């Protein structure tokens, strides 16, 4: 396959690409403003929307009592009212919606309504939720969880910890992350005849939007059609979060029998919608003098927000990736899905995997520093083996391990050992500026952990001029999915890529689709499209063989032509035209479901992933110890994408994923004030990486020997999410630089995001400890059993 540009790249840069807000508005369209709660937790004692109804330009106002169907948009469990009824549970929760002739009229009218509250006690943080659980009786703990706790266990971690010659305990906190897609949340609902509804939505999951709209309207699914041609970014933030806006638009469109558009500005978008889950991870690890992990207990607690949303699957995946690249023979992983009076957190690129990986990478780094060894050596010592030491904490065998190959290649090409020595020499003579370096691996499981989601459908139409139209259940959000799947169809027919027309995803063509998520878009939709194209191709082969009296194997498709036997050659379009005249059907559906996967939740055992994607990164940073400011100097990445379908698209995904992950771990800080209001809801206060944050020396390679051992589309591997976790190397490079302040004798205390403020505080705290008499190099020196668990007792 070739390194073909994204099919819409030229449209992106010229402004020709049509997004949902660019669709020509039908006559008499109405615009919506959604009034939000100002309190994080309160009873609504008065909601008077009469002043809003009477405002100029207002056509309709809806509250929870105006919903004809079900007032719930929970994607997994029914716990998320579309519009608040009696209680509000986060500052920003939608209360009611106003439809008016202009956006300004809707906004002004919404703020005329009168809302009165009686405040209730809010729980805003993970730590507060854990404390409340520890203080509660057994039947009250559930109030502070959106879902029950869950545990994975392999071996006997308690016994292994007690017997370990060395032991460390500690806590890591990591923040969330806003998706900050360039195109905000938007939906336009257009009423159709018979009460049907056509919804244009910027969504990764058209089928879920279809179901939610039908649910609130009280209509069957076939009454709602959802369409999306492209999104201006998604990153998981448009998997479930678009449902509220599509539902509100549809409710108002059904009531007014007029088209209705809901378009959020950036502030409202960031306040109303969910984010990456922030986590608190407590660890208790036992290891030997070489650094080999003998036993480990991990407690993962996440801020889920006010409702479950996708928190169950997100936290499960965090647990699945709490091993990352390392064999943990005796391990217990416990997950708490904490309910807080903040926005309901949701899917985000990596879907919990990054948080789980950060936890174990932090632990391995701490082990290395306690022993005075290079963290890379401890990482390699604990890698999964090949043919041995290859069972995960959830009892899946790692059969495709190439960690050793990837890391050894990168270690050599990035000159890691020589650079580490050079950095030590630099730090020894530089008083203010300190450098740090880290190499971290990635092993990321590919498949939806909800097994039923691992299926896809496609529709391929061949026209009599030889042109092809393609439709499938995947959605395009800039990641190049449409380009790749079109390449698959073109390759199957052996025709030029330009002959394949990519069309908008719509529930009216391919039903019951899964979200474009879990990095599985090409795996699923590529195979489904290939199946559809092969069905048509086999019909054409059968027809040609019969028509020209040759064996089917003598009919060969190549370069826009079809060779039929030795002497006959037809243009692809000519064969198609002949087949049409012979009444051969030239359209087909294709279907695919991922094989081999299964999961027994009760036993926490199975094969939730079809395969793993691997990668590694080396990051080098420079830190100003007087200010905490830093620069990323150089990055070397080697990533496994199997046999790439499109190297240009894949390289873009690796680079972009890394930079987004770097933002999560360095500059992107979400802050809620004590009143539960999000204060970082605009680019003025929320800092995503800028072009200047990308290192001048940025070396990215795809593993040339890569090939998927499983039967995926052209033996490729998923590339959407795994590269994000390569940025864990940046965090650990910063930690390495801070450690040099105390001549590597002490391990820094640093949480994520490692903003310059946090880096500076870490430096100052480290200097204070370094000057304390008798300060130990590591808590491990106290020996096993000397340190108590750091999470509250009684929450289990």
Active site residues: 721
**How many Cα atoms within 13 Å fall on the side-chain side of residue 571?**
8
Please give the Cα distance from 668 to 270 (Å, whole number): 13
Structure tokens at 507: 């529930």
User: For residues 321, 325, 326 and 330, what is the CA-based torsion angle, rounded to 10 degrees?
Assistant: 30
Structure tokens at 456: 């896809």
Please give the Cα distance from 203 to 207 (Å, whole number): 10
| Cα distances (Å, whole numbers) of residue 308 to 88, 129, 428, 449, 617 | 15, 15, 50, 16, 34
CB under 8 Å, gap of 24 or more: what pairs does 158-161 form?
A: 158/295, 158/297, 158/332, 159/295, 159/330, 160/286, 160/294, 160/295, 160/329, 160/330, 161/284, 161/285, 161/286, 161/294, 161/295, 161/296, 161/297, 161/330, 161/784
Please give the Cα distance from 690 to 308 (Å, whole number): 33
Please give the Cα distance from 796 to 778 (Å, whole number): 28
- Outline where 177-330 has alpha helix (H): 206-217, 243-256, 266-272, 311-320
User: Do the Cβ atoms of 679 and 270 come closer than 8 Å?
Assistant: no
Q: Tell which residue, 101, 87, 82, 98, has the closest CA to residue 34.
A: 98
Please give the Cα distance from 128 to 385 (Å, whole number): 40
Please give the Cα distance from 675 to 341 (Å, whole number): 10
Number of H helices, E strands in the chain: 19, 29
Please give the Cα distance from 740 to 251 (Å, whole number): 60
- Strand extents, DSSP E, 141-292: 145-154, 166-174, 186-191, 197-201, 224-228, 260-263, 279-287
Pairing of strands 331-339, 433-446: unpaired
Neighbour order of strands in the sheet with 279-287: 145-154, 331-339, 293-305, 279-287, 166-174
User: Do the Cβ atoms of 422 and 436 come closer than 8 Å?
Assistant: no
User: Do the Cβ atoms of 307 and 344 come closer than 8 Å?
Assistant: yes
How is residue 672 annotated by DSSP? B
Pairing of strands 331-339, 145-154: antiparallel
Listed in sequence order, the residues at least 6 apart from 772 whose beta carbon sits closer than 8 Å to its beta carbon are none
Please give the Cα distance from 592 to 531 (Å, whole number): 8
CA-based angle 137:143:146, to the nearest 5?
Answer: 130
Please give the Cα distance from 750 to 94 (Å, whole number): 36
Place of tokens 């309190």: 39
543, containing H or E segment:
helix 521-548
Phi and psi at residue 326, to the nearest 5°: -115, 140
């Amino acid at each position: 396959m070739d390194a073909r540009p994204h099919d819409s790249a030229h449209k992106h840069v010229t402004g020709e690409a049509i997004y949902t807000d660019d669709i020509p508005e039908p006559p008499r369209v109405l615009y919506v403003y959604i009034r939000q709660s100002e309190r994080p937790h309160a009873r609504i004692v008065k909601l008077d929307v009469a002043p809003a109804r009477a405002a100029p330009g207002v056509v309709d106002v809806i509250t929870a009592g105006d919903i004809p169907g079900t007032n719930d948009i929970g994607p997994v469990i029914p716990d998320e009212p579309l519009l608040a009824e009696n209680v509000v549970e986060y500052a920003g929760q939608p209360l009611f919606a106003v439809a008016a002739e202009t956006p300004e009229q809707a906004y002004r009218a919404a703020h005329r309504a009168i809302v009165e509250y009686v405040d209730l006690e809010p729980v805003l943080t993970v730590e507060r939720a854990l404390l409340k659980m520890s203080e509660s009786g057994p039947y009250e703990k559930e109030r502070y969880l959106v879902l029950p706790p869950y545990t994975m266990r392999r071996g006997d971690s308690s016994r292994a910890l007690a017997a370990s010659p060395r032991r460390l305990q500690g806590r890591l906190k990591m923040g969330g992350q806003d998706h900050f897609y360039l195109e905000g949340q938007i939906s336009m609902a257009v009423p159709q005849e018979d009460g049907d509804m056509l919804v244009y939505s910027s969504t990764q999951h058209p089928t879920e939007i279809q179901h939610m709209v039908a649910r609130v309207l009280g209509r069957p699914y076939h009454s709602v059609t959802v369409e999306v041609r492209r999104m201006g970014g998604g990153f998981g933030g448009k998997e479930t979060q678009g449902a509220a806006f599509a539902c509100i638009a549809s409710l108002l469109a059904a009531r007014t029998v007029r088209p209705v558009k809901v378009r959020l500005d950036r502030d409202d978008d960031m306040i109303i919608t969910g984010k990456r889950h922030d986590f608190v991870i407590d660890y208790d690890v036992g290891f030997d003098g070489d650094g080999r992990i003998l036993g480990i207990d991990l407690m993962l607690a996440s801020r889920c927000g006010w409702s479950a949303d996708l928190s169950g699957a997100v936290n499960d995946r965090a647990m699945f990736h709490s091993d990352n690249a390392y064999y943990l023979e005796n391990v217990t992983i416990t997950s708490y899905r904490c309910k807080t009076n903040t926005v309901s957190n949701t899917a985000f690129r990596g879907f919990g995997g990054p948080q789980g990986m950060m936890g174990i990478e932090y632990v391995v780094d701490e082990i290395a520093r306690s022993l005075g060894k290079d963290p890379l050596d401890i990482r390699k010592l604990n890698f999964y083996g090949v043919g041995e030491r290859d069972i995960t904490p959830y009892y899946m065998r790692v059969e495709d391990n190439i960690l050793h190959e990837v890391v050894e290649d990168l270690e050599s090409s990035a000159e890691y050992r020589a650079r580490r020595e050079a950095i030590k020499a630099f730090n020894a003579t530089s008083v203010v500026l300190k450098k740090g370096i880290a190499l971290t691996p990635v092993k990321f499981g590919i498949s939806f952990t909800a097994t039923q989601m691992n299926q896809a459908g496609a529709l391929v139409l061949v026209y009599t001029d030889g042109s092809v139209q393609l439709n499938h259940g995947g959605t395009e959000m800039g990641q190049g999915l449409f380009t790749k799947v079109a390449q698959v169809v073109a390759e199957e027919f052996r025709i030029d890529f330009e002959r394949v027309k990519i069309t908008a995803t719509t529930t009216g063509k391919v039903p019951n689709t899964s979200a474009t998520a879990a990095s599985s878009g090409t795996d699923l939709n590529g195979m489904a499209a290939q199946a559809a194209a092969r069905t048509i191709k086999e019909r054409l082969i059968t027809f040609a063989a019969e028509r020209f009296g040759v064996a089917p194997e003598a009919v060969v498709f190549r370069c826009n032509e079809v060779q039929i036997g030795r002497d006959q050659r037809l243009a692809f379009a000519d064969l198609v035209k002949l087949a049409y005249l012979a009444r051969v059907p030239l359209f087909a559906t294709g279907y695919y479901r991922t094989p081999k996967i299964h999961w027994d939740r009760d036993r926490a055992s199975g094969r939730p992933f079809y395969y793993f994607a691997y990668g590694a990164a080396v990051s080098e940073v420079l830190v100003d110890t007087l200010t905490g400011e830093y620069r990323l100097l150089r990055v070397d990445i080697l990533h496994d994408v199997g046999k790439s379908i499109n190297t240009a698209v894949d390289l873009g995904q690796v680079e972009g994923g890394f930079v987004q992950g770097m933002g999560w771990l360095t500059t992107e800080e979400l802050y809620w004030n004590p009143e539960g209001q999000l204060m970082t809801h605009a680019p003025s206060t929320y800092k995503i990486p800028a072009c200047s944050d990308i290192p001048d020396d940025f070396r990215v390679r795809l593993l040339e020997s890569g090939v998927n051992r499983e039967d995926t589309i052209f033996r490729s591997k998923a590339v959407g999410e795994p590269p994000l976790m390569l940025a864990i190397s940046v965090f650990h490079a910063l930690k390495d630089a801070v450690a040099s302040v105390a001549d590597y004798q002490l391990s820094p205390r640093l949480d994520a995001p490692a903003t310059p403020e946090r880096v500076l505080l870490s430096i100052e705290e480290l200097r204070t400890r370094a000057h304390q008499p008798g300060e130990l190099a590591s808590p491990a020196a106290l020996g096993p059993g000397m340190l108590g668990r750091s999470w509250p007792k009684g929450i289990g």
